[in-house]
Amino acid sequence: MATGITGIALGMIETRGLVPAIEAADAMT
């Protein structure tokens, strides 16, 4: 995954939780 996507995923972990962040990052790849 690109670093930018990783950064977005880390931001989503803070706001939504771990699982939704993983799902969102996976959908963007």
Q: How much is the pLDDT for 22?
A: 74
Q: How much is the pLDDT for 16?
A: 64
Residue 22 neighbours by CB under 8 Å, 6+ apart: 9
Q: How much is the pLDDT for 15?
A: 65
Range of the domain at 13: 1-29
The pLDDT tens digits along the chain (29 residues) read 556 777 776 776 666 666 776 777 788 77
Judge contact between 29 and 1, C-beta under 8 A: yes
Question: Cα(15)–Cα(29) distance, rounded to whole angstroms?
Answer: 20
Q: How many CB atoms lie within 10 A of CB 24?
A: 15
Q: How much is the pLDDT for 6?
A: 75
Q: How much is the pLDDT for 17?
A: 67
Angle subtended by helix axes 18-28 and 3-16, to nearest 10 = 150
Q: How many domains does the chain have?
A: 1
